[in-house]
Amino acid sequence: MVVAVGQATMRAVVQDRYGEAEVLRPAEIPVPVIGPDEVLVRVRAAGVEQGVWHLMAGRPYLVRLAIGLRAPRTPVRGRELAGVVEAVGEGVTAFRPGDEVFGIGEGTFAELVRAKAAKLALKPAESTFEQAAVMSISGLTALQALRDNAKVREGQSVLVIGASGGVGTFAVQIAKALGGQVTGMCGPGKVDLVRSLGVDALDYRAHDITEGGRRYDVVIDIGGNRTLRHLRRALAPRGVLVIVGGETDGRWLGGFGRTLRAPLVSLFVRQRLGGLIASERADDLVALAGMVSSGTVRPVVDRVFPLAETADAIRYLRAGGARGKLVISVAG
């Protein structure tokens, strides 16, 4: 289906080959064409998360099976978005032009993006486009890890490893909202940030997760590369471990090996061990929007970069600089 949007081309940041941020360049490209169940969104802000780097770099190599063996099949990166609906496909009834939305699209580092209606929700009126842009992938991941996988209950002790980043800043707040007694682990320069979210904070340079023999009911592992054996030592005898991520140099599987092994080990121990692959569901976006509207959860935006400086944003993220989330502003 071809939708008239009053312009044939748009500004975007594109890549023609896999690599580090140098492969990104500004370009003028055709406006995407939407299908019957899709929405064309004029992007106001786009979130930057580690997944952007994985797709840009084609690492671990396993991702290339899905997105192109020699070069990425689609040139525009970015999946988190907040913006205004420009046009809707003929099967879409949930949105109409002019609606302010947030969610997940395909190629959000651009003026216009196409997104499945089933991966969008109305933007909370209380948040800016920049705040809404960082909620979808990072927020959904944190919500599903704590509510669905760990099933955190009132009074449980929860350790969030990697608490100062995109997923982690949502995770500590959601764990607290579910009634958990939360400890967030992060680097030395971000302890203040994690404490400002209302939880205890531990610096991973100065402390080990097993320090003092403490055992947590729930461990959410988002950062670093601790072995399953090490993580289990911080877990109560019937505790739950959810592996969300962790950046490693593994070229083929990245840090995914632990996620594959965890359910196997889980068969032989009383602790429940598993990984998470977040599902991109609109009802969870609505749940997140509710948490943000009620003030239970606050998206943490560190810096906003203009579209032309997308490569700098990715370098900053990969250097470990981000306190919470980074945003690409596509306005103007």
Ligand X SMILES: NC(=O)c1ccc[n+]([C@@H]2O[C@H](COP(=O)([O-])OP(=O)(O)OC[C@H]3O[C@@H](n4cnc5c(N)ncnc54)[C@H](OP(=O)(O)O)[C@@H]3O)[C@@H](O)[C@H]2O)c1
Please report, as ranges, the residues that interact with ligand X according to CB under 6 A.
49-51, 137-138, 141, 161-168, 185-187, 190, 204, 222-224, 244-247, 276-278, 317, 320, 322
Give dist(CA 115, CA 89) in Å, integer.
10
CB of 171 to ligand X, least distance (A): 8
Of 146 and 163, CB closest to ligand X: 163
Cβ distance to ligand X smaller for residue 103 or 168:
168
Which of 87/278 has CB closer to ligand X? 278
| For ligand X, the closer CB: 222 or 273 | 222
Helix (H, G, I), strand (E, B) or coil at 260: helix
With a CB cutoff of 8 Å and minimum separation 6, the contacts of 31 are: 5, 7, 8, 9, 10, 40, 112
Cα 219 from Cα 275, distance rounded (Å):
11
- Do residues 27 and 12 touch, judged by C-beta distance below 8 A? yes
Query: Residue 181: beta bridge partners?
Result: 157
Least distance (Å) between residue 194 CB and ligand X: 8
d(CA 257, CA 170): 25
Quote the least distance from Cβ 256 to ligand X, whole Å: 9
Rounded least distance, CB 291 to ligand X, Å: 18
Cβ proximity to ligand X: between 78 and 187 the closer is 187
Structure tokens at 214: 């403490």
Smallest gap from Cβ 223 to ligand X, in A, equals 2
Strands 157-161 and 216-221: parallel
